[in-house]
Amino acid sequence: MKESLILVSGYGAPGQEDIALYHIEAAGGVRKLYGMCHGGSPSFCCKGSGGRIYAASERPDGADITVYELQREGLKQAGRLTVPGRGLCHLHACGEMIFGSCYESGDYFAVDAELTKILWTFCRPGAHAHWAYTAGESLYLADLGNDCLYRFGLDGGLPAGKPEILCQPHGSGPRQILMLRDGNLACVNELDGMIRVLDADGKSRAAEPASGVADLQNWPGGACLDGEGTLYVCNRGPNTLAAWRWEGGRLSGRQEWLTGDWPRHIAALSGTGHVAAACMRSHEVIGYDCRWEIPAEVFRFSLAGASCVLELDSE
């Protein structure tokens, strides 16, 4: 197994570090490389071209993106841009475009990778903008408030024309979209606690509760795919992680295990069999070796309001 380099970020606490870099050894040993106080609740980060790292500030009174360059001594700020909306909770890099979603105001937008200008905006009444995701020549947006996905065609990397509206069940609250190996979409739904596999037109092919813990309400958080096509989902409420497979037209649960309090985001660390979860209310990041029938904890460290795990290039 190879070693990993990860960046973690969180909602933070006054005067405390809210972004940090960690080296994860193949056996799970942890070495902290760098920590900093970004401020403004950097609840989500993504990696862009050239190894740049973009941090979202999830503020109630506005929104901004900061770009950092990873250098030997740590992170160096290389730009910042104020963007439309409030409550910026997600970023997605595609080529020279950075897409963002503002949950509180319902604004989606695109900016250039240099953070010099706003290139595109989109907002609908009642929206809770939670996710932007590109697949092929399409941009998909998850609107948790209006129970729908939007699909735009891309022209020169930017959305063109009006969106197709892919309606989802009332009260489902689609939160995140990921494309599976066969071109279907995995949609994690926060409000009804379901995972749905959708075809390219947003029609349901399968639906299952994201957690098998029947007596606790579930508000699923983040999801990720590993190199084998396994889908991992964070279950907030039951406070579990669950592994799923989509094979032969069936969505089947493989494992579910307890984790920290309120797992908000999850990342599969390539080539390691490890999955790391950011647990917001217990203020920690926990890593598991998922190659076994019952995943085993292999590392754990603290971060105030932990909310995002981002794998960087390995050392």
pLDDT tens profile 257-266: 999 999 999 9
Which portions of the chain are predicted below pLDDT 70? 1, 314-315
pLDDT of residue 2: 86
CATH T-level topology, domain 40-167: Methylamine Dehydrogenase; Chain H (2.130.10)
| 115/98 Cα distance (integer angstroms) | 9
- Burial label for 250, CB within 10 Å (0-12, 13-18, 19+), is exposed
pLDDT of residue 292: 85
pLDDT of residue 314: 55
pLDDT of residue 315: 45
| 68/196 Cα distance (integer angstroms) | 35
| 249/68 Cα distance (integer angstroms) | 42
| 213/227 Cα distance (integer angstroms) | 27
pLDDT of residue 84: 95
What does DSSP assign to residue 183?
S
How far is the CA of 180 from the CAs of 82, 187, 245, in angstroms? 33, 10, 10
Q: What is the pTM of this model?
A: 0.96
pLDDT of residue 178: 97
Identify whether the C-beta of residue 109 lies closer than 8 Å to the C-beta of residue 83.
Answer: yes
